[in-house]
Structure 1
Amino acid sequence: MTNYNLEEKESFTVLGIGTELKSDYTDYAGINKEKADFWQAVKEDGRLEKLKSIATNDYMFVVNEAVNNKMMHYAGVMTEESLPEASRVIQFPKGEYLVVKGEAKTSEELSNILTGMAFGQVLPEAKNVAYVGGPNAAVEMGQQNGLLYGEMWIPVVRK
């Protein structure tokens, strides 16, 4: 089984710039293309750098959240500030989180690896906890040995 921990986290908020994912939730190729197009756009038009410039730490959040029956995807940071470009303040609840660690060469690869491990391996095999919705995030935390490292944070409840 993939290495994971359960950690208690205080509630926190992430300021996000987002997009609605229109592909069916089972269309992984479509979803991944929409996400890649979104990230390319926010990098090219400067929104991502502007968002990073107001962050209170170096963490970059890749957030997925269902909002009003829509699948939303965000680039986010922890901050006390606001931006006109930002589309949502995302509330993460206080409680237990499933935390999966990983490394990759690029931000996109890290997010995909963490999401795949967490939802494809850990959650189906975890007998004592369940994901019941709410925002989840791949958190890019830094670089070491030429690789990006980070964690997937998924709020869970005890079964």
Structure 2
Amino acid sequence: MADYILEQKDSFHVLGIGTELKSHYTDYAGITKEKADFWQAVTQEGKLDTLKAIASNDYIFIVNEAVNNKLMHYVGVMTEESLPEADRVIQFPKGEYLIVKGEAKTADELHQTLTGIAFGQVLPEAKNFAYVGGPNAVVEMGQRNDLLLGEMWIPVVGK
């Protein structure tokens, strides 16, 4: 099984700018393209820089959340401020989180790798805990030696 830890976190919130993913949740290629198109748009339009300017730390959250039976995808930051262009304040619950750490050359590679390990390896093999919904996020945490460092945070409950 892939390396992971379980960690207790206090509740927190992330201010996000998002999009609805229209591809079926099993359409990996479709979802990947939609996420890449969204990421390119928020970067080129300066929305990511606007979020970073009000962030309370250097973390960038790439959040997936089911809202009103829609699969939503957000880029967000921890902040106490608000923005008119922000779509949602995403609440993460207090509790236990599955944490998968990694590094990659690009943000897209980091997101895909951590998501693949967490949902493709760790959660299917887990015997003592399970993901039962709620927002999950890839958290970009900085760089070292030309690699982007990050973690996947998924709220879990004991089985």
Q: Could you list the runs of 5+ residues in structure 1 that have no partner in the other structure?
A: none
How far apart, CA to CA, are the structure 1 residues paired with 2:97 and 2:135?
Answer: 11
Matched, 1:67 2:92: no
State the shift of 1:145 in Å.
1.4
- Output aligned runs, 1:56-135, within 5 Å: 56-135=56-135
What does residue 18 of structure 2 align with?
A: 18
Q: Deviations over 1:106-152 (max 9, x none)?
A: 11111111101000000001110000000000000010111001100
SS at match of 2:71: strand
How far apart, CA to CA, are the structure 2 residues paired with 1:45 and 1:141?
Answer: 22
How far apart, CA to CA, are the structure 2 residues paired with 1:21 and 1:54?
Answer: 26
Runs of 4+ in 1 over 6 A off after TM superposition: none
- Residue type at the aligned position of 2:132: V
- Residue type at the aligned position of 1:69: N
How far apart, CA to CA, are the structure 2 residues paired with 1:146 and 1:126?
Answer: 32
> TM-score, normalising length from structure 1?
0.99
How far apart, CA to CA, are the structure 2 residues paired with 1:50 and 1:153?
Answer: 24
What does residue 45 of structure 2 align with?
A: 45
What does residue 34 of structure 2 align with?
A: 34
- Residue type at the aligned position of 1:140: E
> TM-score, normalising length from structure 2?
0.99
Over the aligned positions, Cα root-mean-square deviation in angstroms equals 0.4
SS at match of 2:127: coil
How far apart, CA to CA, are the structure 1 residues paired with 2:85 and 2:42?
Answer: 10
State the shift of 1:19 in Å.
0.1
- Residue type at the aligned position of 2:104: A
How far apart, CA to CA, are the structure 1 residues paired with 2:27 and 2:63?
Answer: 18
Identity of aligned residues (%): 79
How far apart, CA to CA, are the structure 1 residues paired with 2:31 and 2:47?
Answer: 21
Matched, 1:154 2:154: yes
Give the count of matched residue pairs: 159
